[in-house]
Structure 1
Amino acid sequence: MGSDNQRTRLPAQTYGTGRVEAFSDGVIAVAITLLVLDLRVPEPIAGVSLAHSLGELWPNYLAYVISFLAIGIMWINHHSMMKRLMAVDHSALVLNLLLLLCIVALPFTTALFSTYLNDRSGAHLAAVIYAGSFLVTSVVFVALQWLLVVRRPYLLSEPLTPVQRRSILLRGAVAVPAYLLAALAGLLTPYLTLAVCIGLGIFYFVPLGPRFASAAGR
């Protein structure tokens, strides 16, 4: 009954979340699948073992795992965000579309980084572009969260407490300075970019606990 009353108070220019979520899931699924295209079977070379050939492809494997986890975590957070909504408006649709634009570009920047990681002439720029693509994606995601949590709370199916609101925004915002650091680190060494991205992946892979939520509410 309460949900029905909330729906009647929604502005006229709002839309259901079903199609948005289905479209987003499809686009993210394509993006995460495209990552595997950078994993190629090594060509047989006389006198070179398969183990050696596979070992030389370690940048491809590592970049694949990092990007797969990053996109997967984005999907989990996007799914959780959508489940909190009962409707979206035009601004939310535009930001969501911009987010998908950024996510679809990640397989390209991943392939670029893995290809040039061991190339002295291009490794630094490739690392900056790789981390920069995640930085832009994170900025857009945080902007979408801020719009829905702060500017459009009436789109939520249930109101958030101040603690919940701060926790969501703070946890999402961590990625912005972290990926900026990863991009700047790429100017020194691309391996430091890898280290920061791995650390950030581990941070987001750990579920949000009540202790973090309490700290965020202070």
Structure 2
Amino acid sequence: MWGNHHALLDRVAKVDGAALWANLHLLFWMSLIPWVTAWAGEHPMAPAPVAMYGVVLLLCSISFMLLSWRLEGEGAGRAMAWGSRKNRLSIVLYALAIGVSLFYPPLGSAIHVALAFVWLVPAR
């Protein structure tokens, strides 16, 4: 996530107040990743921690899309845009992982890992 955040902001010529708030929104959700990762790591077969991990990642994805949508006109480009295939896929799969985690946490975790590989390389 940090790599994609850097890649997004590296393309931007200027930011306004709305972009700053959108960025803070993203950074807030990202700040919860260590806590929820530790919780899910301590209880990898428990539905609540694995589902909550998915919730935090889903909210990170949504807030990243909001930030990229806000910055699109400032040079972020279409690759990072609100409607990119990668962003839409993330939203759907994180939501699926949350639901699946409530019934079979290992499959929810597998979806989370698959999505990490999707985002491993920043968009061009």
TM tier relative to shorter chain? 0.7 to 0.9
Q: Are residue 98 (structure 1) and residue 98 (structure 2) matched? A: no
Give the C-alpha shift of residue 75 in structure 1.
Answer: 1.2
Q: For residues 200 and 176 of structure 1, what CA distance do their matches in structure 2 show?
A: 10
1:144-195 Cα offsets, whole Å, 9 max, x none, are 111111xxx1x328xx4xxxx1x43312332111111111110111101111
Larger Rg: 1
Q: CA RMSD in A?
A: 1.8
Q: For residues 114 and 54 of structure 2, what CA distance do their matches in structure 1 show?
A: 13
Contact 1:142-1:173 at 8 Å conserved across structures: no
Write out the 4+ residue segments of structure 1 that deviate beyond 3 Å after TM superposition.
206-209
Q: For residues 29 and 123 of structure 2, what CA distance do their matches in structure 1 show?
A: 25
Corresponding residue pairs, total: 121
Q: Are residue 156 (structure 1) and residue 44 (structure 2) matched? A: no
Q: Are residue 181 (structure 1) and residue 109 (structure 2) matched? A: no
TM-score by length of structure 2 reads 0.88
- For 2:15, which of 79, 88, 93 is the aligned residue? 88
Q: Percent identity?
A: 30
Gaps of 5+ in 2: none
Cross-structure match for 2:64? 141
Code of the residue aligned with 2:59 in structure 1: it is V
Q: Are residue 125 (structure 1) and residue 40 (structure 2) matched? A: no
Give the C-alpha shift of residue 205 in structure 1.
Answer: 2.0
TM-score by length of structure 1 reads 0.52
Q: Are residue 112 (structure 1) and residue 39 (structure 2) matched? A: yes
Gaps of 5+ in 1: 1-73, 210-218
Alpha carbons of structure 1 residues 208 and 144: separation in structure 2 relative to 1, 3 Å: closer
